[in-house]
Amino acid sequence: MKTILKAAAACAVLTLAAAANAAPLKLAPADPQPSGVQPGLSVVYAYPHDVKTLAEASSALKISSEPGLPLAGLDNRDTEEGENTLTSKRALNVVARITGYVKLDQPGIHNIDFLTNDGLRASIGGQVVGEFDGRQSCDSTILTEVEVPSAGWYPVDILYFQRQGTACLHMRMGPDGKRPKWMKDSAFGH
């Protein structure tokens, strides 16, 4: 039994060490770069009876979805109970597929995280940069280190769901070694 515990502990230490030394995720800019980009992000909603996981959220969008008014960006503060989620037509059990672009002006290594209530899988430049598969109050995802190879527009693809209570969705980003800041709505387009 002691041998098994020692082996498990050694694996855990190696896993943490590997994660700490992992290379940043390299984002891919949109190719070609889009022209005529409109402000905000496109969104499609589904309204299932209940939703508790990203898999259920994805299924709900395949069963029935409808376009919503574009989001101004990803600075959606925590709502009061009963307020509609994002630009949807209801407060509870809302699924959203959010797409468009984010303009990243500073090449280099950056850190990204999201505040979400509830579930989220966010991809930028072809990489998953934020994920939480469950239910929570407005709280952050794990900080993700990314490499921005050049200034320009990067594709955004987000699966989001809100189940009960309040809703929020924010994105923060900042250069490596500095505290991430809220992304301004003006950084997003579709």
- Going from the N-terminus, what domains does the chain have, and what CATH number goes with each? 25-189 (2.60.120.1560)
148-185 pLDDT tens trace? 999 999 999 999 999 999 999 999 999 999 999 999 99
Q: With beta carbons less than 8 A apart as the criterion, state whether 156 and 104 touch.
A: no
Contacts of 84 (CB under 8 A, 6+ apart): 90, 91
| Mean pLDDT (whole number) for 122-151 | 96
pLDDT of 5 higher than 60: no
pLDDT tens sequence across 61-120: 999 999 999 999 999 989 999 999 999 999 999 999 999 999 999 999 999 999 999 999
Q: How many CA atoms lie within 13 A of 180 on its CB side?
A: 21
Using only the alpha carbons of the chain, give its radius of gyration.
18
Calculated CA dihedral for residues 153, 159, 163, 164, nearest 10 degrees: -10
Q: Which burial class, exposed, middle or buried, applies to 142 when counting CB atoms under 10 A from its CB (0-12, 13-18, 19+)?
A: exposed
Query: What is the C-alpha to C-alpha distance for residues 72 and 188, in angstroms, rounded to an integer?
Result: 8
Query: What pTM, to 2 d.p., does this model score?
Result: 0.87
CA distances from 65 to 33, 56, 81, 114, 132 (A): 28, 13, 24, 24, 22
Query: What mean pLDDT comes out for the span 41-56?
Result: 98
DSSP label at residue 50: -
Cβ neighbourhood burial of 27 (10 Å; 0-12, 13-18, 19+): buried
Tokens of 41: 């992000």
Say which residues have a Cβ less than 8 Å from residue 8's Cβ, sequence separation at least 6. none
d(CA 54, CA 184): 26
- Does pLDDT of 16 surpass 80? no
